[in-house]
Amino acid sequence: MTSPFSNATVTWGAFLVTFGMAVSHLCAGENSLLTVSQPHMGTIVRIVADCDDAELFKKATDDAFARFHEIEQICSDYQSDSEVLQLSAKSPTPEPISVSDDLWNVLYRAHQVNRASQGAFDVTVGPLTKEWRRFRRRGKLDPTRIEEVRTSVGAMHMTLDEKQHAVSLAVSDMRIDLGGIAKGYAIDAALEVLSKHGITRALVDAGGDIAATGAPRGEPGWRVGIAGLNPKQPPILVAHISQCAVATSGDAFQFLEHDGKRYSHILDPRTGYGVDHRATVTVFAKTATEADAWASAICVLGPEETPKALREQPGIATWMEVLVDEKPITWASPNLGSWLSEHSQTK
């Protein structure tokens, strides 16, 4: 059987929104393409819309950023008073605990990806996340400590009651980490707010995770580009997207080297260790929530496990590059070409 992987001479990295370079080509007119940015969730969130009404744009984007802030207050792993950390602090829970609609939605969608990815994506990984942050600060990992905190990790320890929108945590010292999905969920929520205000040609970019509604007038889609590991180089691929989302994940900048081995900040919840293959993953999906979570999951799965996991996921398309023995190995999901044809036009 022919291997689905092939050697490549290029590397792939984060998505870059290139609407700034494309403004002169937008038939909607330069004055109708409005943009605004704010810091949220540890990154810069940028909203762009094809809109002729500056006052409407300001009202809509103010409300969209307010949704970002609201979701951050619920899902943050850094704010001690966030709803998710308050829930975690109650573990083990003697009775199911009702949660807000937003937290329920994020947890439910995370559970779906957890099952579909054979556990590669697991939001109960929080105890390990906390320890690995310490390891990276110190430049040294502690295998004994990893084994200790792993007892509090595992999707089997979290039960979701769909009728009551309630959550049960079965063991002590659990810590839910929504860092791999909350940003995507917030992007989707922000686009929903914009649409309710009547702005239906918009794009939201949160640190390179992107989702868009309708294309700017006269354009086939919002122009985005995939950058290589060297962001100073031109994008490797330029595409036009609409009514979909794109997310990337990789370890180009955050990793730990210990005893000659390189561990990513992206953790494999099944082993307790950072992923030891260097990877860059780009995921296309209908929603940013899906794209965000699957980008993390595929980084963990790597080129060997990903094809099987995506076999039952026709709505997910991906391209990945993994360095194996310093050689770039690339893989594209079989549906990538058809997915791009449906949602974009490439140049």
What CATH number is attached to the domain comprising 244? 3.10.520.10
Tell whether 99 is covered by a domain.
no
Tell whether 219 is covered by a domain.
yes
Tell whether 198 is covered by a domain.
no
Instruction: Compute φ and ψ for 50, nearest 5 degrees.
Output: -85, 100
Tell whether 216 is covered by a domain.
yes
Tell whether 135 is covered by a domain.
no
| pLDDT of the residue at 25 | 32
> Total structural domains in the chain?
1
Instruction: Output the six-digit token pair for 80.
Output: 């001690």
Name the helix (H) or strand (E) containing 48: strand 43-50
Collapsing DSSP to helix, strand or coil, 42 comes out as coil
Give the pLDDT means over successive 10-residue stretches in the chain (347 positions): 29 38 36 89 96 96 98 94 97 96 98 96 96 85 93 97 96 96 98 98 94 93 72 69 89 58 80 82 94 94 91 91 74 87 64
Q: What is d(CA 121, CA 111) in angstroms, rounded to the nearest whole number?
A: 9
How close are the terminal C-alpha atoms of the chain, in Å?
32
Q: Mark 113-128 as b/e (b = at least 16 C-beta within 10 Å).
A: bbebbebbbbbbbbbb
| pLDDT of the residue at 164 | 94
Tell whether 173 is covered by a domain.
no
DSSP H helices, the chain, are 19-22, 54-75, 83-89, 101-116, 126-138, 143-149, 182-196, 288-310, 336-343
| pLDDT of the residue at 336 | 87
Q: What is d(CA 205, CA 215) in angstroms, rounded to the nearest whole number?
A: 15
Instruction: Compute φ and ψ for 88, nearest 5 degrees.
Output: -60, -40
| pLDDT of the residue at 344 | 63
Tell whether 118 is covered by a domain.
no
Contact assessment for residue 108 and residue 159, using Cβ atoms and an 8 Å cutoff = no
| pLDDT of the residue at 229 | 54
Tell whether 107 is covered by a domain.
no
C-alpha angle 275/281/287, rounded to 5°? Answer: 120
Domain housing 309: 6-48+208-346
